[in-house]
Amino acid sequence: MIITEAKYVALDGKNIGIRAIINGQTMGVPLDPANAEYAAILEWVAEGNTIQDAD
């Protein structure tokens, strides 16, 4: 997966997911380690990338 952007999505001040651009597509990714895209984002973060804070 090629991740080019990731930003938290928050509801009532609490992060509930990530808006990410993966392979050129915008996706809503849940904070669930069993989710394949979230697992890929965690690897992407481990490589030194950052998930932006929610608006």
The residue ranges that bind another protein (CB under 8 A) are: 1-2, 9, 11-12, 16-19, 23, 25-30, 32, 34-38
**Closest distance to another protein from the beta carbon of 50 (Å):** 18
Comparison of 17 and 48: residue with beta carbon closer to another protein: 17
Concatenated DSSP letters for the chain?
A: --EEEEEEEEETTEEEEEEEEETTEEEEEES-TTSHHHHHHHHHHHTT--PBPP-
**Closest distance to another protein from the beta carbon of 41 (Å):** 10
